[in-house]
Structure 1
Amino acid sequence: MRHGKKDNHLGRTHSHREAMLQNLASSLILHKRIETTVAKAKELRKFVEPILTRAKDDTYQNRRMVFQTLTNKETVKELFGTVADKIASRPGGYTRIIKLGSRLGDNAETCLIELVDFNEVLIAAAAEKASAATKTRRSRRGASRQAAETEPAATVEAAEVIEETAAPATEASGDDLTKIEGVGPKIAELLNNAGITTFAQLADAQDEAVQQILVEAGPRFNVHDATTWNEQAALARDGKWDELKELQDRLKGGKEE
């Protein structure tokens, strides 16, 4: 009986399962992000994270044990070089799973699994948000000190603080990109991960850049046509909701602009 045994065998024998996890772990370490099913990703996380923890201590014994598990010289070299330097200060949780929905054919639930420290878009967004929050707090303290000296100066300083903090707050919250015809929750999540979080950013984005994001996300997203998204986003950015509704009705009716 399997009492207390929570590992998913994935419908494979022990040797087949171990070989598959070795290959998935090598691909994740070399490419930093792979697309697979959610079940495999969860088992891969349990398999690869202890290996990543061991790689932070570069010793001969650790290299031997990691090579015994992965059996790939290039993977071990990348792991103890580039990857170990990036994750050196992280105490755990080296991977992130982003669900993509069910794929055509077998309806299996798919996802992206990536190394957290190698997603430059999210790291840059978090750093920008932290710097904006720090800048806002300093501006308010400066306004309080000047208020004790002269009231008109305090009024001017307060107005400057409002102007500085208004834009980052809007940027951080983002817009609901699903209001654009053809953009669903999963595509909106992909656009947000790529740094496109507002109608203004989507309106300014090139069609080729948006299409490239869909291509990199996998074949199930590559079928979407993004040629009208920037036009719709421009109308949403300007608050022209009636015109946006008319355009979307024409698109749904099969009429071209």
Structure 2
Amino acid sequence: MRHSRKVSKLKRTAAHRRSLLANLVCSLVEHGRIRTTLAKAKAVRPVAEKMVTLGKRGDLHARRQAVAFLRHKSIVKELFDNVAPANADRQGGYTRITKLGQRASDSAEMAIIEWVDLAAIKAPKEEAAPAAAEESKD
């Protein structure tokens, strides 16, 4: 029986699985939504939600914990500056998984994982882009 066996191993070693999940969370923070297999989406959801919780805490220790896991300071900055404030009033459930059906090549179940407040997260990026374009014209 599989009592207390919650971790989905994804047929990888522990180090490989940790790197895979860190990379998927980085892509999710960077792009707002990613298309992956259903198993990987279900595995990355709790990790992404823990990173948002660290971002909502916002203190130095939480930032260092996020950098230790994600290994990209720019992604952690975006997580703490854009994603976490957009989810400040939400008490969990920051991500949404939408099933897409089967992939043509190997019939793997595909899914999209995205932030629930995707519009609020993308708004600060869009405001910053025109301001940067105006500064480059001068």
Q: Look up the match of 2:33.
A: 33
1:74-119 Cα shifts (integer Å, max 9, x gaps): 1101001011221111111000001100011110000110000014
Q: Distance in 1 between matches of 2:117 and 2:2?
A: 36
Q: Distance in 1 between matches of 2:35 and 2:119?
A: 15
Q: Look up the match of 2:23.
A: 23
Q: Where does structure 1 lack aligned partners over 5 or more consecutive residues? A: 121-257
Task: Give the 3 Å change call, closer, same or farther, for CA 50–41 of structure 1 in structure 2.
Answer: same
Q: Structure 1-normalised TM-score?
A: 0.45
Larger Rg over CA atoms? 1
Within 5 Å, give how 1:44-63 maps onto structure 2.
Answer: 44-63=44-63
CA-based RMSD: 1.4
> Offset of 1:52 from its aligned partner?
0.6
Within 5 Å, give how 1:100-179 maps onto structure 2.
Answer: 100-119=100-119
Q: Look up the match of 1:76.
A: 76
1:197-256 Cα shifts (integer Å, max 9, x gaps): xxxxxxxxxxxxxxxxxxxxxxxxxxxxxxxxxxxxxxxxxxxxxxxxxxxxxxxxxxxx
SS of the residue 1:56 aligns to: helix
Q: Where does structure 2 lack aligned partners over 5 or more consecutive residues? A: 121-138
> Offset of 1:3 from its aligned partner?
3.7
> Offset of 1:6 from its aligned partner?
2.1
* Greater relative contact order (CA < 8 Å, ≥ 6 in sequence): 2
SS of the residue 2:114 aligns to: strand
Q: Look up the match of 1:134.
A: none
Q: Look up the match of 2:7.
A: 7
Q: Look up the match of 2:131.
A: none
* Range with bigger deviation, 73-82 or 1-10: 1-10
> Offset of 1:50 from its aligned partner?
1.1
**Sequence identity, in percent?**
47
Q: Look up the match of 2:64.
A: 64
Q: Distance in 1 between matches of 2:99 and 2:2?
A: 29
> Offset of 1:8 from its aligned partner?
1.0
> Offset of 1:35 from its aligned partner?
0.1
> Offset of 1:54 from its aligned partner?
1.4
1:4-44 Cα shifts (integer Å, max 9, x gaps): 21211000000000000000000001111000000000000
Task: Give the 3 Å change call, closer, same or farther, for CA 99–83 of structure 1 in structure 2.
Answer: same
SS of the residue 1:99 aligns to: strand
* Range with bigger deviation, 46-55 or 30-39: 46-55
Q: Structure 2-normalised TM-score?
A: 0.83
The one-letter code matched in structure 2 to 1:57 is R
Q: Look up the match of 2:132.
A: none
Aligned residues: 120
Are 2:95 and 1:95 equivalent residues in the alignment? yes
